[in-house]
Amino acid sequence: MRKHIVAGNWKMNNDLAQTEDLVSDLKKQSKTSDAEVMIAPATTNLWHAFQSVREDDIEVIAQNMHFAENGAYTGEVSASMLKSIGIKTVILGHSERRAYFNETDASLAKKVDAALSNDMRVIFCFGEELADRKSGNEATVVESQIKNALFHLDADAFEHIVLAYEPVWAIGTGETASPEQAQDMHAFIRKTLSNKYGNTVANNVSILYGGSVKPNNAKEIFGKPDVDGGLIGGASLKAEDFYAIVNAF
Ligand code: 13P
């Protein structure tokens, strides 16, 4: 069944002391919604965060991983390494990974396979750039990102996949997709899945929206029928703001 999920992507923010502070602030917040709560600290702080939230209702997840199991990939981290410290979910395909680290649909397909074969859950990100939206190509771009990275999977795999639509023009810009734009795209994504895998798979996959979600707009965006949650950047770095978003459901 699809779930409500609110995940905080901390990106390259917060050293160990700051991670300790933010985790401790998060633990003081109370959740009044049914949303699953996740936080994605930097790799160096995953273990600390995982240890700290063990008893709490927060899952610690990774921002990225490599597709290989191990080997000569200096600077990289594998699925089994993440698993060995208790991490069960990984964000893959964030637009910043695509833009600054040359991640492609083909390399992401390999990462998705590696995560799934290690029994990890994937939050798979995609979304169009401003030029795509301006030229009316947003649906074509999103469809090809999903098809190229995910459509080699069988239907069962989608039990372990969460989708995150993050229009690049809305990330960190303060400009959000309108609730209607988000709903239209989420409905299109569900239709794309349904055409390939059928209605059951499509209706069971959680589709998150990401891009300048804040306490003052979360309720309206989350109110749309095909929006199952959010992937939150800037606003996830303040415990009160993050929980205002979590509790917007
Ligand atoms: P902002 O919420 O800062 O726009 O970031 C969104 C994002 O990239 C989450 O992955």
SS3 content of the chain, % helix, strand, coil (to 5): 45, 15, 40
pLDDT the model gives residue 176: 85
């239709």: which residue's tokens?
191
Closest-lying ligand 1 atom to the alpha carbon of residue 170? 4
Whole-Å CA distances, 188 to 124, 131, 139, 142: 16, 19, 8, 9
Q: Cα-atom radius of gyration of the chain, to the nearest Å?
A: 17
Give, for 192, the enclosing helix (H) or strand (E).
helix 179-197
User: Is the minimum distance from the CB of 123 to ligand 1 under 6 angstroms?
Assistant: no
pLDDT the model gives residue 173: 85
Q: What are φ and ψ of residue 161, in 5° steps?
A: -120, 135
pLDDT tens digit string along 152-190?
A: 999 999 999 999 999 999 998 878 889 999 999 999 999
Residue of 103, 128, 138, 166 with catalytic role: 166
Write the CB contacts of 158 (distance below 8 Å, at least 6 apart in sequence). 193, 197, 201, 204, 205
Asked if 82 contacts 55 with a C-beta cutoff of 8 angstroms, the reply is no
Amino acid letter, 202: A
Name 126's bridge partners: 165
pLDDT the model gives residue 55: 79
pLDDT the model gives residue 172: 84
Asked if 158 contacts 193 with a C-beta cutoff of 8 angstroms, the reply is yes
94 is catalytic: yes
Ligand 1 pocket test, pick from 92, 123, 166, 168 with the greatest ligand atom count within 8 Å of Cβ, gives 166
pLDDT the model gives residue 77: 98
pLDDT per residue as tens, the chain (249 positions)? 899 999 999 999 999 999 999 999 999 999 999 999 999 999 999 999 999 998 789 999 999 999 999 999 999 999 999 999 999 999 999 999 999 999 999 999 999 999 999 999 999 999 999 999 999 999 999 999 999 999 999 999 999 999 999 999 999 887 888 999 999 999 999 999 999 999 999 999 999 999 999 999 999 999 999 999 999 999 999 999 999 999 999
The region, left, alpha or beta by phi > 0 then psi within -120 to 50, assigned to residue 211 is left
Amino acid letter, 2: R
